[in-house]
Amino acid sequence: MVYDYYPGCTLKSKASRFDISAVKAAEALGAEMREIPEWQCCGGVYPMACDEIAHRLPSVRALNEAKNNGRDLLTVCSACYHVLKSVNYDMKNSMDVRSKTNSYLEYEKEYKGETRVVHYLEMLRDDIGFDAVSEKVVNPLKELKIAPYYGCLILRPSKIIGFDDAENPVTMENFIKALGGDPVVYPFRNECCGGYAVAEDKAIAEKKSREIIECAKKHGADMMITACPLCMYNLKKYADIPIKYFTEILCEALGIEADGE
């Protein structure tokens, strides 16, 4: 099971443990993540304007690379996943975006949105299977109440992203169960943490993040997990319980050492 891998900027800097733990855990589960060469930043934010082509180009280059390699494009970061999936949707469904982008890139063969964009959690759920993951667990996370935090980007807009039910997701809860942990279901697990607003109004991000953390604790959480480096940044500043990337607890359950920031 081989994937082309798009790590994104943050996983090669401040979230290196996210990258390292993801690669090591995948290897233990029989999946190979081949980092695509010369990848560029996805932009971090999906370009909403239909006539904005320049900010779509890095994603299309990565998508086309995976297409030419005959592989799915795998990513771990929720923001990268959101941008790649959204741009891929544009290339598949908007003739205007597709024609302008391909005219700029001058590919021998047009890219038309053929690549399957896969989040790491989708790989575990759909390609490997949570039952198979569970069979590899050597250190079950017994008696540990873990609150999954989805945030916005991995779920919305649901028509385009299609990861899970945006209002009542279950993927991360089932992931936690596969590792032997006890998932905490709480109302704010799909609420925004303040996201990119932290750059202009830290008070909003603090308010939103504290509400999410307190909600998780109120429902019994000992720990929270996330798939987004920006959510990690916002939540960790105000949390008095551990916040980890979901791949970190996966490595712990599989008995794998994974270092990094």
What number is the average pLDDT over the span 148-156?
A: 96
The helix/strand/coil state of 6 is coil
**pLDDT value at 20 more than 70:** yes
What is the CATH class of 129-254?
Answer: alpha beta
Q: Spell out the long-range contacts of 234-239 with Cβ–Cβ below 8 A and sequence spacing 24 or more.
A: 234/193, 234/194, 234/195, 234/198, 234/205, 234/208, 234/209, 235/149, 235/193, 235/209, 237/206, 237/209, 238/206, 238/209, 238/210, 238/213, 239/213
Compute the distance between CA of residue 139 and CA of residue 126 in angstroms, rounded to an integer: 23
pLDDT at residue 196, rounded to an integer: 79
pLDDT at residue 202, rounded to an integer: 87
Q: CATH second-level architecture of 2-120?
A: Up-down Bundle (1.20)
The better pLDDT of the pair 44, 140 is held by 140
pLDDT at residue 261, rounded to an integer: 54
The helix/strand/coil state of 19 is helix
> What are the respective helix, strand and coil percentages of the chain, to the nearest 5?
50, 10, 40
Q: Which amino acid is at 170?
A: V
**Average pLDDT of the chain?**
95
Give the confidence band of 54 by pLDDT, cuts at 50, 70, 90. Answer: very high
pLDDT at residue 80, rounded to an integer: 97
pLDDT single digits (tens) 195-252: 878 778 889 999 999 999 999 999 999 999 999 999 999 999 999 999 999 999 999 9
Q: Tell me the H-state helices in 43-154.
A: 57-69, 78-93, 95-105, 120-122, 130-135
**pLDDT value at 81 more than 60:** yes
User: How do the domains of the chain map onto residue ranges?
Assistant: 2-120, 129-254
Compute the distance between CA of residue 235 and CA of residue 102 in angstroms, rounded to an integer: 39
Give the confidence band of 260 by pLDDT, cuts at 50, 70, 90. Answer: low
**pLDDT value at 151 more than 70:** yes
Residue 81: exposure state from Cβ atoms within 10 A (0-12, 13-18, ≥19): buried
Compute the distance between CA of residue 210 and CA of residue 213 in angstroms, rounded to an integer: 5
Q: Identify the bridge partners of residue 148 per DSSP, sorted by sequence position.
A: 225
**pLDDT value at 62 more than 60:** yes
Residue 251 in contact with residue 257, Cβ under 8 Å? yes
Neighbours of 100 (CB within 10 A): 16
Q: Name 219's Cβ contacts closer than 8 Å, sequence gap at least 6.
A: 147, 184, 185, 186
pLDDT at residue 195, rounded to an integer: 82
Residue 91: exposure state from Cβ atoms within 10 A (0-12, 13-18, ≥19): buried
Compute the distance between CA of residue 234 and CA of residue 196 in angstroms, rounded to an integer: 10
One-letter-per-residue 3-state SS of 139-193? CCCCCCEEEEECCCCCCCCHHHHCCCCCCCCCHHHHHHHHCCCEECCCHHHHCCC
pLDDT at residue 49, rounded to an integer: 86
Among the listed ranges 21-25, 76-80, 180-184, 204-208, which one has the minimum average pLDDT value?
Answer: 204-208
What number is the average pLDDT over the span 148-172?
A: 97
Neighbours of 25 (CB within 10 A): 26
What number is the average pLDDT over the span 253-257?
A: 94
Percent of the chain with pLDDT over 70: 99
